[in-house]
Homo-oligomer: A and B are copies of this chain.
Amino acid sequence: MHRFKITELGKNAFWLRGDEREHLARVLRLAPGDDIIGFDNTGAEYYATILKIEDKSVTCRILETSHPEVEAKTKVYLIAGLSKGEKMEWVIQKGTELGISGLVPLRAKRAVMRLEGTKAVERVQRWQKIAGEAAKQSHRVQEPQIFEVANWSELQNLLPANTQWLISYEEEKTERLHSVLDRFDPLQPIALIIGPEGGFDASEVSWAQEHLGAISVSLGPRILRAETAAIATMTMVLAHYGDLG
């Protein structure tokens, strides 16, 4: 059944407007009487029937409300050094499917892409849309939040104070990811800092260790591309606590 993000939720009905209304009426050509699923990012899922389709909105009657156990119990945030457009987009798409709670695009020193001003704002909107589509496709009931593009100094204020920080670093030879995850508390948020194509500068890693209390980890003996490291790390963290696989 097709899934839509609810624009406005009432007691026994909800409304879809904007893109969601367009997608339902124009792209999918659904009609009154058709059943759909709505979600409002609160963790609830609403089975509903389309009552009427108007120019600017679609009205749906709620038949049943459920709270599927589809979201990960451990809140995982990816802090991703800005990479070329396409790579960033699929890290967001894959991360959403895997189950992350949010993603912060990071202005790392070696980031190949510079994003400033309105260009950055538009890009984040586009990324949020990609996360929303991936959330529907993977049947999630909460889409990950794509944060504004941040600098190192802004990271700390974006996530909860009890966040546990990890930074993936090629030069780290002793500390392995899985052993750090054994020590972390899965009931507190976990933030994974992954470099851009060029990797992190040593000064960035020490900054993260000093100011965020981040633990630098190795992902193993093989060198991973930035986007591979991002997806593999999200997978391993979610799997370590039983939220995946």
Contacts and interface: CB of A to CB of B under 8 A. Distances in A.
Contact of A140 (B69, B176, B178, B222): B222
Interface string A130-165: 000000011110000000000000000000000000
A74 to B, nearest CB: 12
A164 to B, nearest CB: 16
Interface in A189-245: 217, 219-225, 228, 231-233, 235-236, 239, 242-245
B178 A222 contact: no
B219 A232 contact: no
Contacts of A137: 223, 225
B98 A177 contact: no
B138 A97 contact: no
A229 to B, nearest CB: 9
Interface residues of A, number: 33
Contact of A139 (B140, B177, B223): B223
Interface string A88-102: 000000100111000
Contacts of A139: 221-223
Given A99-B222, A219-B245, A221-B69, A231 B138 contact: no
A70 interface: yes
A178 B236 contact: no
Contacts of A178: 239, 242, 245
Most chain B CB within 10 A, of A99, A228, A245, is at: A245
A138 B97 CA distance: 25
**In the complex, which of the residues A68, A97, A222, A228 has the most CB atoms of chain B within 10 Å of its own CB atom?**
A222
Given A228-B97, A228-B98, A138 B222 contact: yes
Interface of A: 68-70, 94, 97-99, 137-140, 176-178, 217, 219-225, 228, 231-233, 235-236, 239, 242-245
Top 10 nearest A-B pairs by Cβ distance?
A177-B245, A235-B235, A138-B222, A70-B221, A236-B245, A232-B235, A220-B244, A138-B223, A236-B239, A97-B228
